[in-house]
Amino acid sequence: MKNIKVVIFFVLMCLLQLGAAGYLIYRHQTVVEFGMPYKFKCIFYDPVHPFQGRYLALNYPTAELKSQEKITGNTIYCIIDTDSAGYAYFKSVHLSAPPVENYITLQQPDFGFNDTGKKEIYLQPPFTKFYIDENMAPKAEKLVSQALNDSAEVWAEVQIRNGNYVLKDVKINDISVKKLVEK
């Protein structure tokens, strides 16, 4: 009898562990299949992390939004829209989930004070890490600084649905960074 209990608990434990990893994949897939694609203008550099290895750290200077909205909870919701040049930006901030699909959820954004002393929250896109081959990362960093000198377009391709997002690719002049560095 006791043995059966152990078996049940053991199986539940295994399912929980497999389920956790599976859930991450499931959430990702629904965003990829049903999400709306956006292009975020970005720049990136190449930091080194002891556990995560090398990746590209992305920055989005033009997509940011400063808002004087008063935050009560930890979570806020930002609606994404596209400008005339085809790039995405943060359009508006909401304290509860808006009734549209094109928003992302942000946790505890940074805040500061503007020139007149009013408290402001800074909203930045949260997809800041693009994992890439260890040996390619420094090369990619060089590529982007070169591209920016040549005033090329660098953007991140992101798919967004109901608060969740997937960073699909980083592109320089419509060519994937991964393909560029392999040349």
Partner 1 sequence: MQGFEKKLEEWVKAGLLTKNTADNLLAFESKNKDKNSSAAILIFSILGAILTALGISLLVAENWDRIPVLMKTVLAFVPLVVAQILAAVALFRFKNSMVWRESTGAFLSLSIGASLAVVGQIYQLQPSLAGFLLLWLVCAAPVMFILQSRTSWMLFTAGATWYCGLAGFSDSGFSVWHYIWMLIGSVVFMYRFVWNKNVHRAFSISSGWILALSLTIAPGFFSSRYEEWMLFVYLAMFQCFILLSLKPAFSVPEKWHAGFGNIGIAGVTFIALMQSYQKALRFTAENLFDVNHKFWASNEFWILLFFSLVYVGMVIYLLRKKEMSFAMFLFPVLSLLIFIAHYALQFSQIAINAGILLAAALYIQNGIKNNSLLKLNGGLLVISALILLRFFDYYISFTARGIAFLAIGMLFFMANRMLVRKEKMKSNEEH
> Given the rule CB under 8 A, which residues bind partner 1?
6-7, 9-10, 12-14, 16-18, 20-21, 24-25, 28, 51-53, 74-75, 107-110, 126-134, 136, 165-168, 178
Cβ-based nearer residue to partner 1, 16 or 85: 16
Residue 119 amino acid letter = K
Contact 22, 98 (CB under 8 A): no
| Residue 140 and residue 147 in contact, taking contact as beta carbons nearer than 8 Å | no
Least distance between partner 1 and beta carbon 40 (Å):
13
Nearer to partner 1, 25 or 85 (CB): 25
Residue 33 or 110: the one with the smaller Cβ distance to partner 1 is 110
Nearer to partner 1, 104 or 144 (CB): 104
| Minimum CB–partner distance for residue 150 and partner 1 (Å) | 26
For partner 1, the closer CB: 27 or 83: 27
Q: In the block, which residue shows the tokens 């890490």?
A: 129
CB of 7 or CB of 100, closer to partner 1: 7
Shortest Cβ distance from residue 151 to partner 1 (Å)?
Answer: 27
Q: Distance between CA atoms of 92 and 66, rounded to whole angstroms?
A: 10
Q: DSSP alpha helices (H): ranges in 90-168? A: 137-149
User: What is the spatial distance between Cα 144 and Cα 130, in angstroms, rounded to a whole number?
Assistant: 14
- What is the closest distance, in whole angstroms, from the C-beta atom of residue 113 to partner 1 in the complex? 17
Nearest distance in Å: CB 3, partner 1: 8
The residue among 161, 168, 183 whose CA lies nearest residue 40 is 168
What are the residues whose beta carbons fall under 8 Å from the beta carbon of 123, sequence distance 6 or more? 64, 65, 66, 67, 76, 78, 90, 93, 106, 109
CA gap 114, 68 in Å, rounded: 9
Q: At closest approach, how far in Å is the CB of 135 from partner 1? A: 9
The answer to whether 170 touches 177, Cβ cutoff 8 Å, is yes
